[in-house]
Chain A
Amino acid sequence: MTANSGGPETVSKHQIDDSPPAETTTSETLEDAWGDEAVIQSRDLEVFYGDEQALDEIDMDIPERQVTALIGPSGCGKSTFLRSINRMNDLIDVARVEGDLYFHGKNVYDDDVDPVALRRKIGMVFQKPNPFPKSIFDNVAYGLRVQDQEDNVDEQVQQALERAALWDEVKDQLDSSGLDLSGGQQQRLCIARAIAPDPEVILMDEPASALDPVATSKIEDLVEELSQEYTVVIVTHNMQQAARISDKTAVFLTGGRLVEFDETNKIFNNPESQRVEDYITGKFG
């Protein structure tokens, strides 16, 4: 998306609107542009690591209950953007964020937003499977326990493992360590851990990059499945993967710029930018 849109409800692609976020434009523009509601919206979002700029004026509207893929070459800022959605960048001392990022119309960088509360709505799955050295059950129950959702833990754990397509493989060994699972199972365990507290959005940072092809395809099936109930934002290095599983694709190129953001079909078949076409067709990156 190349235009500077103004408000959190504004999702028009080509409309230039400098009005403050509170003044929203009509829902017709919204319908015209996407046909569905944007749950996360970034406006002029910039992230710096010390003096280095990692993201440059990102405007993006991420639709609800769809898969949005972030692709681009290494160091282009796609993971940084992902981490800025649930404020994981807060954990990096030198990181500084400017601009706005709205979740349900609320700027998550406002002073009154508690990042912990935000992360309870926006779960995350990381590049390398990182289960805790605890039992499979305790891994999945972790989010429930820290968020005080301790009613029916057994049921919720089972449900999360079922949704993560792992239940049948681990139901007889819930007490064994999560570290005893294979890499692909560990990653699905991490997905179960992320969805157990029932967030709205799941952020995935190259969740299949450390896995073999079979485990990767299981994760991909799972991502499509999850988008029935959750908004999924997934960073990937693998363009075929983005084409296979995502509804919308954002292409970041060097310098932390978002070059193009559109329906995945359009990006892969008829991109507007020559550089995006070059990147998609493998001329660089």
Chain B
Amino acid sequence: MSAPTESEEFEFDGTSIKRKRQIGRVFLGLCVGATMVGIVALVALLLDVLVEAWGWLTWEFLTYPPSQLVENYNPANYGDLPTGPGGIYPALVGSIYLISLTAIFTLVLGVGAAIYLEEYAPDTRLTQFIEANISNLAGVPSIVYGLLGLAMFVRALHTGASLIAGALTLTLLILPIVIVSSQEALRAVPDSMRRASYGSGATKWQTVRNVVLPEAVPGIMTGIILSLSRAIGETAPILMVGAATSMFAPPEVTDPTGPFAAMPMQIFEWASLPEGDFQHVAAAGIVVLLAILLLMNAVAIFIRNRYDRRG
């Protein structure tokens, strides 16, 4: 066999391909850059907050009410204070009550609406209109919900600047997201399950109760918890309904109509005070808020992994 002759047809070094590869690499670089900007900014922010809070975040900070004097927050001064140390306790407890009440309202209203829309409502133009608007409501700025809460609950229903007004306002805020995510969870239940249930002589309610809901619960819970962790950090709505900037005692568990403080408001208050050291106090508050937020997200992920049989 003779040696193969040099081919003119086959451009094996592929100069034009190289050029395309270069363009690809440039694009990849841009995408990596875009990712890094976000991550670096976030890490920088978190590090800054952690550094600021370092040394100021103590057990006393979690268990004492706030103080007017910045010295009271400094752990170095704890030994010789006429009053107790300053802390975030009432706002921490207030936020937990607030979010618990919100969770109850959201569970009932959000899941109820989702079940109706997904399982019962006929597929009419009206239903489609309602569903489209629920999605739109998810994009309404939170301050608007704050104004709504102020007009509807605080003024019209005379709840005053109370825990329940705050909880209802936060419920309105996250309701659209909860309804949409619950609907998606219900939609993900295969129709073959529903058919199997109806074929066994089950009524609609029995099918929803015994087959559809148990399958959808992990998705519904995940959606609710993620929404709640958004709600716990919201400042604008509770600012509008008149949450106290600083309270020196936690709200009464038995009386949701009383005034309340919440962590975002407390942090906002600290951050707006002139003394420089209050920035450390605000940072410590932010770390507490973030820790609770991460905890809630972890619970959501746990629930999703624990109950997701398909996964």
Contact = CB atoms under 8 A, between A and B. Distances in A.
A133 B196 CA distance: 12
B26 to A, nearest CB: 48
Contacts of A167: none
Nearest to B201: A120
A126 B210 contact: no
B36 interface: no
A93 B122 CA distance: 9
Interface string A46-64: 0000000000000000000
B309 interface: yes
B195 A143 contact: no
Given A126-B192, A146-B206, A146-B210, A119 B198 contact: yes
A126 B201 contact: no
Contacts of B123: 93
A133 B215 contact: yes
Contacts of A130: 190, 192-193, 195-196
A197 interface: yes
A88 B198 contact: yes
A131 B195 CA distance: 11
A86 B196 contact: no
Contact of A88 (B199, B210, B215): B199
A142 B206 CA distance: 10
Centre residue among B195, B201, B206, B210 by max chain A CB count within 10 A: B201
- Chain B contact surface mostly: helix
A142 B201 CA distance: 9
B81 to A, nearest CB: 59
Interface string B198-224: 111111001000110011000000000
B198 A132 contact: no
A29 to B, nearest CB: 34
A123 B199 contact: yes
B201 A147 contact: yes
B197 interface: yes
A133 B200 CA distance: 15
A197 B200 CA distance: 8
A194 B196 CA distance: 9
Contact of B193 (A119, A132, A145, A197): A132
A194 B122 CA distance: 29
A39 interface: no
A88 B194 CA distance: 11
B193 to A, nearest CB: 6
A177 B309 CA distance: 10
Interface residues of A, number: 28
Interface in B160-218: 190, 192-203, 206, 210-211, 214-215
B169 to A, nearest CB: 37
A141 to B, nearest CB: 10
A91 B195 contact: yes
A146 B195 contact: no
A190 interface: yes
A258 interface: no
A91 B123 CA distance: 13
A116 B202 contact: yes
B215 A146 contact: no
Nearest to A134: B214
A124 interface: yes
Nearest to B205: A146
Nearest to A120: B201
B199 A126 contact: yes
A119 B196 CA distance: 11
A149 to B, nearest CB: 10
A241 B198 CA distance: 27
A179 B190 CA distance: 14
B200 A123 contact: yes
A88 B123 CA distance: 18
B196 A132 contact: yes
25 contacts: A88-B199, A91-B198, A116-B201, A116-B202, A117-B201, A119-B201, A123-B201, A124-B199, A125-B199, A126-B195, A126-B196, A126-B199, A130-B190, A132-B193, A132-B196, A132-B197, A142-B200, A142-B202, A143-B200, A143-B201, A145-B210, A146-B200, A147-B200, A179-B309, A193-B200
Interface of A: 86, 88, 91, 93, 116-117, 119-120, 123-126, 128, 130-133, 142-143, 145-147, 177, 179, 190, 193-194, 197
